[in-house]
Amino acid sequence: MYHPKLTAFTDTLEALFNEADEALEEKWGTHFSLHPNRPKRGETGNPEADGLFELAPDFTPGVGSKQGRGYLVSFRVATLEPVQPALFEAFMEEAARQIREKLPRYFPGRKLEVVRDGKRFKIIGDFSLGEV
């Protein structure tokens, strides 16, 4: 059984990531050839599963992290071509910027922020669900 407010929170977070994914696809979606097994952008009902970029939130309890618990910004470029580390970093930074910019609109009144956690980005802050 799932807490209804957790379901609402994760649905909202998915919508935010889908919008950020769309922005990345618009800007850089044609910079590399798509992996042969990857559907073209818009061919599935889930932007994580098609197009050049896979952008998804992954909850972590934060064990061993200075930032603690939060949602890692999971990021992948679906291509067989080599992606230079500096360009991959630029893609990740743009994804983090998109998410940072959209957080207040998707989660008004909630104190959430996007921070660097090692080599990745993470959303940290107020994940409280209140009462049912």
Residue 73 covered by a domain: yes
For the chain (132 residues), the mean pLDDT of every run of 10, in chain order, is 85 96 93 92 87 95 92 96 96 97 96 95 91 60
pLDDT at 132: 55
- Select from 96, 65, 81, 70 the least CA-distant residue to 32: 81
Q: Which domain holds residue 90?
A: 12-125
What whole-number distance in Å separates Cα of residue 123 and Cα of residue 23? 19
- DSSP three-state, residue 71: strand
The count of domains in the chain is: 1
Residue 130 covered by a domain: no
pLDDT at 4: 86
Q: Are 112 and 123 in contact (CB under 8 A)?
A: yes
Residue 37 covered by a domain: yes
Residue 3 covered by a domain: no
What whole-number distance in Å separates Cα of residue 37 and Cα of residue 92? 23
The pTM (predicted TM-score) of the whole model is 0.91
pLDDT at 131: 65
